[in-house]
């Protein structure tokens, strides 16, 4: 006959109470699984280790101590000497002050106009928009931050002046307006904070319009490909014009063949040497009319 679980003696577990409890008498076994739950002063897989925490509780798996309030150390054997305005750090015994308090034991109150202070010196760490030894003065920097010692302003990008009231003049941007804008389209001003343009002038690209088109490209956003200029030279990055064309071609982009009867560079030579025919627009070689042959 199976004995009900509730009637198993403390040192046994299982449906028939035949399982021997490995943690007895330093703990209690689960009646179903046999898993140990250690007594408050024991720890380990089978509760085989004694807890050494003098003023605290130990973790039943690792034995690590969690100290009671007012004590610290690996065995919670040392007294904390912190005021009620702090928390004692368990590993070191150091007092961690609550906001508004300072000193070794956090017994002194900050005098910083509701701003925090350094824990050991009591030196004020002023909140934003405040400055002075006790954070008693208000910052006058409209678009910037105050130096907490003397109240001087460090302006945000895009502004200048003693109190950072003045936006950058047209054509300038950045910290204290030191940087010149790039080539924004139509001489529009760039964004005063980071120099960004809406669109660029022809021949320039990049968010600040400060990058010239790469060789071989021209025009708006540098999207157009250069024509074939003389000897592989690149075209003008703004309008795509060639400075010189290969023989036989003319036009801003070298796109027009020499008119009939002319040839060569800039089409400056005529084909008068060809008696009965025209000449090749590039080389000047004669192209005879039907019924004629020869070099001239």
Q: Does pLDDT of 143 surpass 60?
A: yes
Token look-up 């001003």 returns 189
Mean per-residue pLDDT for 270-277? 76
User: Residue 265 is part of which domain span?
Assistant: 258-296
Query: In the Cβ-directed half-sphere of 52, how many Cα atoms lie within 13 Å?
Result: 8
Does the residue 134 lie in any domain?
no
Name the pTM for this structure: 0.54
Tell me which residue of 182, 226, 224 sits closest to 200, measured CA to CA: 182
Domain count, the chain: 2
Last residue of a domain, one of 79, 103, 125: 79
Tell me which residue of 105, 164, 99, 163 sits closest to 125, measured CA to CA: 99
Does the residue 20 lie in any domain?
yes
Q: What is the pLDDT of residues 94-116, one digit of tens each?
A: 999 999 999 999 999 999 999 99
Mean per-residue pLDDT for 27-51? 89
Q: What is the pLDDT of residues 62-76, one digit of tens each?
A: 999 999 989 999 999
In what helix (H) or strand (E) does residue 179 lie, and over which residues does it extend?
strand 179-180
- At 152, list the tokens: 């001087």
242, 250 Cβ separation under 8 angstroms: no
Does the residue 155 lie in any domain?
no
Give the model's pLDDT for residue 295: 56
**What Å distances lie between residue 6 and 12, 16, 32, 33, CA to CA?**
11, 11, 11, 14
Q: What is the pLDDT of residues 182-223, one digit of tens each?
A: 999 988 999 999 999 999 999 999 999 999 999 999 999 999
Per DSSP, the three-state class of 59 is coil
Token look-up 């928390």 returns 87
Last residue of a domain, one of 79, 100, 120: 79
Give the model's pLDDT for residue 203: 95
Q: Does pLDDT of 294 surpass 70?
A: no
Does the residue 61 lie in any domain?
yes
Between 84 and 2, the more confident residue is: 84
Last residue of a domain, one of 50, 79, 108: 79
């Amino acid at each position: 006959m199976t004995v009900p679980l509730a009637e198993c003696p403390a040192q046994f577990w299982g449906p028939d109470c035949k399982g021997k409890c490995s943690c007895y008498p330093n703990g209690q076994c689960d009646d179903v699984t046999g898993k140990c739950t250690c007594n408050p002063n024991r720890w380990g897989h089978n509760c085989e280790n004694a807890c050494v925490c003098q003023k605290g509780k130990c973790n039943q798996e690792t034995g690590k101590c969690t100290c009671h309030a007012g004590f610290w150390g690996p065995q919670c054997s040392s007294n904390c000497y912190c005021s009620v305005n702090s928390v004692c750090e368990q590993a070191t015994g150091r007092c961690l002050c609550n906001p508004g308090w300072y000193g070794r034991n956090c017994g002194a109150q900050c005098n910083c106009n509701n701003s925090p202070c350094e824990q050991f010196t009591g030196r004020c760490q002023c909140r934003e928009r405040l400055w002075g030894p006790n954070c008693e003065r208000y910052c006058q920097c409209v678009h910037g931050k105050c130096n907490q010692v003397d109240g001087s302003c460090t302006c945000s990008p895009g502004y200048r002046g003693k109190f950072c009231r003045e936006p950058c003049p047209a054509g300038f941007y950045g910290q204290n307006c030191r940087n010149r804008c790039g080539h924004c389209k139509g001489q529009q001003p760039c964004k005063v904070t980071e120099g960004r343009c809406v669109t660029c002038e022809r021949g320039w690209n990049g968010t600040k319009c400060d990058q010239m088109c790469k060789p071989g490209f021209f025009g708006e956003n540098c999207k157009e490909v250069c024509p074939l200029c003389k000897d592989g030279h690149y075209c003008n990055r703004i309008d795509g014009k060639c400075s010189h064309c290969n023989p036989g071609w003319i036009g801003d982009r070298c796109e027009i063949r020499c008119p009939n009867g002319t040839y060569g560079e800039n089409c400056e030579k005529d084909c008068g040497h060809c008696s009965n025919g025209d000449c090749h627009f590039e080389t000047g070689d004669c192209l005879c009319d039907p019924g004629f042959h020869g070099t001239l």
